[in-house]
């Protein structure tokens, strides 16, 4: 067993953040997945967020995750079309900002 009960770990580098997928075992032998997002905050340290999914809940978690991925994939073209339409709509408009003294 590795550091702090780690059985397996892998990481995914994104543009400005890193995702860690850690499979761990706690003191009583429960196995769980810990997904950690780590983001550098202006050189002043790291902002970290974690989600823990226990082994017995993994199938439900994966079902929800896969449904979310399916939604993203199916609606990708529609979102792109809406974004382009908004861009065309606002291209010729001028915005006036009024500041109160």
Per-residue pLDDT tens over the stretch 63-82 = 999 999 999 998 988 888 88
For 4-56, write each residue's pLDDT tens digit.
Answer: 799 999 999 999 999 999 999 999 999 999 999 999 988 788 999 999 999 99
Instruction: Please state the pTM of the whole predicted model.
Output: 0.70
Per the structure block, which two tokens stand in for 16?
Answer: 């400005």
Going by C-alpha positions, the residue among 40, 31, 36 that lies closest to residue 21 is 36
What's the CA gap between 25 and 88, in Å, rounded? 53
Per the structure block, which two tokens stand in for 95?
Answer: 């915005």
Higher pLDDT: 32 or 91? It is: 32
Per the structure block, which two tokens stand in for 39?
Answer: 């983001």
Instruction: Give the model's pLDDT for residue 64.
Output: 98
Instruction: Give the model's pLDDT for residue 96.
Output: 59
Instruction: Give the model's pLDDT for residue 100.
Output: 63
- Three-class DSSP category at 16: coil
For residue 35, CA distances in Å to 54, 67, 92 come to 11, 18, 44
* Topology classification of domain 3-91: Nuclear Transport Factor 2; Chain: A, (3.10.450)
What's the CA gap between 10 and 35, in Å, rounded? 10
């Amino acid at each position: 067993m590795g550091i702090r009960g780690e059985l397996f770990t892998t990481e995914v580098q994104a543009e400005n953040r890193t995702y860690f997928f850690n499979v761990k075992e706690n003191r009583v032998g429960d196995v769980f997945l810990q997904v950690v997002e780590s983001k550098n905050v202006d050189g002043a340290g790291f902002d970290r967020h974690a989600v823990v999914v226990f082994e017995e809940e993994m199938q439900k978690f994966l079902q929800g995750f896969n449904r979310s991925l399916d939604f993203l994939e199916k609606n990708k073209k529609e979102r792109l079309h809406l974004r382009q339409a908004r861009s065309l709509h606002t291209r010729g408009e001028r915005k006036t900002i009024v500041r109160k003294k």
